[in-house]
Amino acid sequence: MVPRDVTTAQYASLRLSRDIYDNFHSCEVIHYQDFIDGGYSMAKVRENGKILTQNKNYIVQDGDILTFKRTKQGKATSTSFDEPEQSGSNVGKKKHSK
């Protein structure tokens, strides 16, 4: 077991999904203060160049916001969830973006 104060990015991904852990590619890291300074906007944080790409050995710091990238069939992808639709046909289904 990895001690709490030295959690790697890949180990942190295991808390969300075994699939993300097994297919971990990299992660984007945003420090919480940069997110606040960017007006709580991911677009602003990206514009300001405050998003760092890290590998699986990155040591997660208190206040980090992580977006995990994973490999699937030889391609790097990130995982997000669709917004629920009124019909309910796609509620909670994952979508993969490049």
Number of domains in the chain: 1
CATH at 16: 3.10.20.30
Residue 81 lies in a domain: no
**3-state DSSP helix/strand/coil percent for the chain, to nearest 5?**
25, 35, 40
In order along its 98 residues, the chain shows pLDDT tens digits of: 445 567 999 999 999 999 999 999 999 999 999 999 999 999 999 999 999 999 999 999 999 999 999 887 656 666 543 434 444 444 444 444 44
Residue 97 lies in a domain: no
Containing domain of residue 10, as a range? Answer: 4-75
Residue 10 lies in a domain: yes
pTM score: 0.66
From residue 26, alpha-carbon distances to 29, 46, 48, 83, 91 in Å are 10, 17, 21, 25, 27
